[in-house]
């Protein structure tokens, strides 16, 4: 159980009522993400408050009327998932950095530089975001913020989002191991076997082409044949 001194407040304001609980800051985030956490570990105090600061408890009547339950577990679930968690500065920093990395990864995987036709390295994307002073919202998903980030960094870093249609021929000796790799990198649209050789047509994010080539060349000792079909 988290101590009261180390706990933070999770708060839900709804129907003219306020419901507050003292929670472990890290476990509350895990719980909000869907992880199963025991109430004994999550809560510092096994109560729902109207005002946690003064210790005033929420009445069963208000919980039943507004939350639809007087059960502690059900109430906690609604407060955490529908309410606000007052995070520590360190938690906010970590969440923001993680979300920023997710945005960078999406852009790097799916975009190329239209001038060079080459993928945009994550470090270059990160530098462009820093130069453009991009602000990341830790409470929004990376996909929700993608369009806004791209708009801000495009004047600094040319970006083109595209999917490549690729034809691949893998010698029979390596077909088994390579089969899994194809599905890791893209969507296989067509495949057939020719005397043991694997022939595939697939779509891959343009930003992954160098990694895709490198992985297949390594697995097949350079014997793979790859052709881009839509350029």
Report helix, strand or coil for 140. coil
Domain range spanning residue 131?
A: 89-160
Domain containing residue 128: CATH number: 1.10.10.900
Asked whether residue 178 is assigned to any structural domain, the reply reads yes
Mean of pLDDT over the chain = 91
Q: What is the pLDDT of residue 206?
A: 83
Q: What is the pLDDT of residue 130?
A: 97
Q: What are the C-alpha distances in Å from 21 to residues 8, 49, 61, 97? A: 8, 6, 17, 27
DSSP assignments along 90-122, one per residue: HHHHHHHHHHHHHHHHHHHHHEE-TTT-PBPPH
Q: What is the pLDDT of residue 231?
A: 59
Which has more pLDDT, 1 or 203? 203
Q: How confident is the model over 35-59, as pLDDT tens digits?
A: 899 999 999 999 999 999 899 999 9
* Inter-residue contact 191 to 183 (CB < 8 Å): no
Asked whether residue 16 falls in the same domain as residue 81, the answer is yes
Asked whether residue 152 falls in the same domain as residue 168, the answer is no
Of 51, 85, 119, the residue that ends a domain is 85
> What is this structure's pTM?
0.63
Q: What is the pLDDT of residue 21?
A: 96
Asked whether residue 106 falls in the same domain as residue 75, the answer is no
Q: How confident is the model over 91-145, as pLDDT tens digits?
A: 788 889 989 999 999 999 889 888 888 889 999 999 999 999 999 988 788 888 9
Asked whether residue 12 falls in the same domain as residue 37, the answer is yes
Which range among 12-16, 23-27, 139-143, 153-157 shows the weakest confidence by mean pLDDT? 139-143
Q: How many domains are there within the chain?
A: 3
Q: What percent of the chain has pLDDT over 70?
A: 100
* Inter-residue contact 141 to 105 (CB < 8 Å): no
In which band, very low, low, confident or very high, does the pLDDT at 23 lie, cut at 50, 70 and 90?
very high
Asked whether residue 2 is assigned to any structural domain, the reply reads no
Q: What is the pLDDT of residue 68?
A: 95
Asked whether residue 1 is assigned to any structural domain, the reply reads no
Q: What is the pLDDT of residue 218?
A: 92
Which range among 14-18, 32-36, 62-66, 187-191 shows the weakest confidence by mean pLDDT? 32-36
Asked whether residue 3 is assigned to any structural domain, the reply reads no
In which band, very low, low, confident or very high, does the pLDDT at 71 lie, cut at 50, 70 and 90?
very high
Domain containing residue 181: CATH number: 3.30.70.240
Q: What percent of the chain has pLDDT over 90?
A: 60
Asked whether residue 51 falls in the same domain as residue 14, the answer is yes
Strands ordered across the beta sheet of 197-205: 187-194, 197-205, 163-170, 225-228
In which band, very low, low, confident or very high, does the pLDDT at 6 lie, cut at 50, 70 and 90?
confident
Of 160, 191, 210, the residue that ends a domain is 160
Asked whether residue 35 falls in the same domain as residue 62, the answer is yes
């Amino acid at each position: 159980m988290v101590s009261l001194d180390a706990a933070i407040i999770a708060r839900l304001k709804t129907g003219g009522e306020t419901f507050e609980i003292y929670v472990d800051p890290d476990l509350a985030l895990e719980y909000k993400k869907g992880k199963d956490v025991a109430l004994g570990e999550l809560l510092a105090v096994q109560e729902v408050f109207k005002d946690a600061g003064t210790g005033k408890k929420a009445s069963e009547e208000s919980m039943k009327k507004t939350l639809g339950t007087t059960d502690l577990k059900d109430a906690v679930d609604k407060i955490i998932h529908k309410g606000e968690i007052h995070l520590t500065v360190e938690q906010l920093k970590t969440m923001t950095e993680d979300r920023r990395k997710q945005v960078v990864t999406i852009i790097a995987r799916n975009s190329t530089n239209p001038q060079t036709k080459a993928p945009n390295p994550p470090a270059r994307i990160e530098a462009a975001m820093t130069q453009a002073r991009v602000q990341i919202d830790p409470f929004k998903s990376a996909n929700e913020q993608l369009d806004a980030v791209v708009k801000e960094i495009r004047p600094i870093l040319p970006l083109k989002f595209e999917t490549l249609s690729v034809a691949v021929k893998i010698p029979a000796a390596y077909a088994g191991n390579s089969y899994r790799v194809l599905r890791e990198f893209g969507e296989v649209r067509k495949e057939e076997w020719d005397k043991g050789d694997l022939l595939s047509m697939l779509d891959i994010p343009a930003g992954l082409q160098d990694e895709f080539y490198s992985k297949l060349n390594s697995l097949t000792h350079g014997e793979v044949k790859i052709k881009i079909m839509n350029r």
